Amino acid sequence: MKSFLLERVRAEGTPLIDGRITRDGVPFDSDGAECHATFVWQGKQPPALTGDFVFWAEDGGSSPRAPLALEQIEPNAWATTLKFPRNAYVEYVFLKDGKRVNDPFNGRKTPNGVGGINNFFYAPDALPTPFLKPVRGIPRGRVTTHLLQAGGIVIGNQRRVHLYQPPTQEPAALIVALDGQDYLQRAKLPTILDNLFAQNKIPPLAVAMLESSRLEKGSARMSEYACNELTLIFLLRQVVPFAQQHLKLMDWKKKKGAYGIMGASMGGLMALFTGLRAPKVFGHVISHAGAFEFWDFPTSTFTWLTQTKTPPRVWLDVGQMDWLLEPNRRMHKALRRNKFDVKYREYYAYHNWPAWRNVLPEALTWAFAP
């Protein structure tokens, strides 16, 4: 028997976008601001489907949701159709016998940050940022890697830091990027900065990409980024002076608040905490999906923002499928209530680096606008 579904899958790949598959193989086209995505599996028995849309149920998290079942459409062909906004970025995998299985009809893959690989897709009106591609002929900054000795201030007593010097002789403002390994490798921050600077969208910006904790039996990242005073001291007393020694920077003491700090999730929390505690140094904060609450317990950032006399400029962004959506909405309201210069951005994605990477050029452009 001819398989209409599998024929289309082999021709287009998966998921099938704007096509609700029916038993006679006729697609159903959606209108307006939403689209349909059909996930397909070929085989005698179907796997379950998990991903952003069910908060990664049964994939090592604590999601209250369940993976989705696939319905048999044709012999050896199983599918389910979900509805998404047309500007969505979505990651997913199949689960078969308790193990993760990538979609054999979707070659688009990305690391999930915890040792696994996810499939992904962009809905019709969503695109990756164009600033990710290196452009021929433009000046490029230089990245060097160093091992910074920290004594007993951080766990492990040392931390790797990647320094980015922009392609200019002009003194630059400094950005400290928490989880620096991810900003370097996953967010492609040096390439984004090269492209933005070449198009005159940002002033010269240097970066200290500070790696987070790595231990054989787990990471201390959660503790070090949970509004940790020792981490704040480490940033102010060691990371900033080290960057000043190795990069051509403007003096923050002559231009208060010239430097910036950014991070994602726990790093987003620590970035805002640092800006609130040391606004004369870090006058620009970029927070991607900041972890401003833990199990309904607000962090001290909500208290500190009422006490800061020289508030930093704050960029917040978060995905509409992110479990941290509501805490970020509450933080945005609190920042506005306390008269901060704040820019807030939501997009249809989950809690992942590709989503943060796509919004990063806009965040940098706003945060460091003249």
Per-residue pLDDT of the chain (370 residues), as tens digits, is 557 788 889 999 999 997 554 444 444 444 567 899 999 999 999 999 999 999 999 987 777 889 999 999 988 999 999 999 999 999 999 999 989 999 999 999 999 988 899 999 999 999 999 999 999 999 999 999 999 988 888 888 889 999 999 999 999 999 999 999 999 999 999 999 999 999 999 999 999 999 998 765 567 889 999 999 999 999 999 999 999 999 999 999 999 999 999 999 999 999 999 999 999 999 999 999 999 999 889 999 999 999 988 999 999 999 999 999 999 999 999 999 999 999 999 999 999 999 999 999 999 999 998 7
Burial letters 157-184, b for 16+ CB under 10 A, else e: eebebbbbbbeeeeebbbbbbbbbebbb
- Please report, for the chain, the start and end positions of each structural domain, with discontinuous segments joined by +: 4-122, 130-367
State the Cα–Cα distance between residues 175 and 184, nearest whole angstrom.
13
Global pTM exceeds 0.95: no
State the Cα–Cα distance between residues 178 and 235, nearest whole angstrom.
10
Is 3.40.50.1820 the CATH classification of the domain at 4-122?
no
pLDDT of residue 2: 58
Q: Which helix (H) or strand (E) holds 229?
A: helix 229-234
Per the CATH hierarchy, to which homologous superfamily does domain 130-367 belong?
A: Alpha/Beta hydrolase fold, catalytic domain (3.40.50.1820)
Which residue shows structure tokens 């991070």? 263
Q: Which helix (H) or strand (E) holds 334?
A: helix 325-337
pLDDT of residue 24: 46
pLDDT of residue 30: 46
State the Cα–Cα distance between residues 144 and 284, nearest whole angstrom.
24
State the Cα–Cα distance between residues 165 and 327, nearest whole angstrom.
35
The candidate with the shortest Cα–Cα distance to 124, out of 213, 25, 17, 49, is: 17
pLDDT of residue 31: 52
